[in-house]
Amino acid sequence: MTALLDIRNLTVEFDTPGGIVKAVNGLSYCVEEGETLGIVGESGSGKSVHILALLGLLPTPPARIVSGEAWFNGQNLMTLSDRALREIRGGQIGMVFQDPMSSLNPVLTVGRQLREVLQRHTDLRGAALKARIVELLDIVGIPHPEARLSQYPHEFSGGMRQRVLIAIGMACNPRLLIADEATTALDVTVQAQILDLVRKLKEDFGTTVIWVTHDMGVVAELADTVQVMYGGRIMERGPVRSVFHSPRSAYTWGLLKSLPTEGARTQKRLYQIPGSPPNMANMPAGDPFAPRNHFATERCHTEVPPLRNVDGSRDHQFAAWYDLPALLAREAADAEARS
């Protein structure tokens, strides 16, 4: 397999009145051709900032890209001109962001907005162009696409607008589709339809997908690989099954454990991760999750753990100084002894 996207040592900082905020800290990872990568994180994890940085969409200043390369299809996105990046965005890399109202132009018809993307990035013109626009709206499940071409965004419901954005993101058969919380604002039933749609697009076109979300359920349904981010770093990454069944980072473990399980009864308390996400202007010295982690060792508080492979695994990586499975086994044994 070959990497379609190869991010190396990406570091992004923001200059704020409160000091320098390190939003992304030496981030490196690859996405293989045809892979779906689910990126999970909360506010301050760096998940959205690094996406915007590699697409050249971060306002600089206040943002500053301190270091890093992002190789896509033989080109380093970080050194491309704005003009060259514009050619890639919407063409070879399709994007879908969270807010369907602010991502569409309210004074242009939906058909016009799709046409602009296609005219910029493809040779389609005239009847073939029109046919492709109708086809795209049909693919994303918008009923009566021909009639809706001449309508404006406000005439579409939230779910339908999000579908239009996905149609725009997919318009030029991108090799890479990046979605950042693309279904978060939608109703669960609409989200389910969008996920089905993305799955179908992957099957039909072999599209590589980066799906940024906070929802572990969405990751489990859609992704091949999951990457858990916190404090601008990767805490854990690997095949979805492996990470969900045997998490090595206490943060991943806590996120999974705090989800209400089926059949959980009202009287039992949910497991809760203590504390709050870190203050980005004042990051802890060592492992960013250490202050909230009751498994943390002394070393966790002083030294940042490197991302390393789980013993015997080629693709499951984690960043922690502690051995989570051993600690969990000991806790379970202690609980057994007590009862």
Partner 1 sequence: MIPAPLLDVQNLMRSFGGGKSLLGRPRPVINAINDVSFQVAAGETLGLVGESGSGKSTVGRAVLQLDPADSGSVRFAGTELTILGPQLMKPYRRQMQMIFQDPYSALNPRMKVGRFVAEPMVVHGVAHGSDLTDRVADLFKLVGLDPSFMSRYPHEFSGGQRQRINIARAIALEPAFIVADEPITALDVSIQAQIINLFQDLQDQMGLAYLFIAHDLSMVRYLCQRVAVMLRGRIVEIAPTENIFADPQHPYTRSLLAAIPVPDPDRKRPDRPLFDVSENIPSREAEMIEVSPGHFVLEHKNKKS
- Which of 117/194 has CB closer to partner 1? 194
Q: Sign of the CA dihedral 191, 209, 97, 119?
A: negative
46 contacts partner 1 (rule: CB under 8 A): no
Among the listed residues 153, 254, 286, 288, the single contact to partner 1 using CB under 8 A: 254
- Which of 134/197 has CB closer to partner 1? 197
Among the listed residues 3, 271, 301, 310, the single contact to partner 1 using CB under 8 A: 271
152 contacts partner 1 (rule: CB under 8 A): no
CB 237 within 8 A of CB 29: yes
The span from the CA of 208 to the CA of 200, in Å, is 12
256 contacts partner 1 (rule: CB under 8 A): yes
**Of residues 155-214, those binding partner 1 (CB under 8 A):** 158, 187-193, 195-196, 214
313 contacts partner 1 (rule: CB under 8 A): no
266 contacts partner 1 (rule: CB under 8 A): yes
- Token pair of 36, please? 């779906």
219 contacts partner 1 (rule: CB under 8 A): yes
102 contacts partner 1 (rule: CB under 8 A): no
Query: Is residue 290 exposed (0-12), middle (13-18) or buried (19+ Cβ within 10 Å)?
Result: buried
220 contacts partner 1 (rule: CB under 8 A): yes
Q: Sign of the CA dihedral 228, 231, 183, 85?
A: negative
The span from the CA of 31 to the CA of 33, in Å, is 7
Among the listed residues 217, 302, 332, 334, the single contact to partner 1 using CB under 8 A: 217
From the list 68-76, 107-115, 240-248, 321-329, the region that binds partner 1 by CB under 8 A is 240-248
- Token pair of 171, please? 């318009």
Among the listed residues 125, 154, 200, 241, the single contact to partner 1 using CB under 8 A: 241
Tell me the site size for partner 1, rule CB under 8 A.
Answer: 42
73 contacts partner 1 (rule: CB under 8 A): no
333 contacts partner 1 (rule: CB under 8 A): no
138 contacts partner 1 (rule: CB under 8 A): no
Q: Put the strands of the sheet holding 317-318 in their side by side order.
A: 93-96, 176-180, 208-213, 36-40, 225-230, 233-239, 317-318, 308-309
Amino acid identity for residue 227 in this structure: Q
- CA distances (Å), origin 300, targets 235, 279, 330: 13, 17, 19
- Token pair of 230, please? 């916190």
From the list 55-63, 115-123, 267-275, 299-307, the region that binds partner 1 by CB under 8 A is 267-275
107 contacts partner 1 (rule: CB under 8 A): no
The span from the CA of 137 to the CA of 140, in Å, is 5
User: Smallest distance from the beta carbon of 142 to partner 1, in angstroms?
Assistant: 13
User: Smallest distance from the beta carbon of 228 to partner 1, in angstroms?
Assistant: 11
272 contacts partner 1 (rule: CB under 8 A): yes
- Which of 80/192 has CB closer to partner 1? 192
Max CA distance (Å), the chain: 76
Among the listed residues 75, 108, 244, 301, the single contact to partner 1 using CB under 8 A: 244
Q: Sign of the CA dihedral 254, 258, 259, 261?
A: positive
Name every residue whose Cβ is closer than 8 Å to that of residue 166 and which is 6 or more positions away in sequence: 96, 140, 179, 182, 194, 197, 198
Among the listed residues 9, 67, 258, 302, the single contact to partner 1 using CB under 8 A: 258
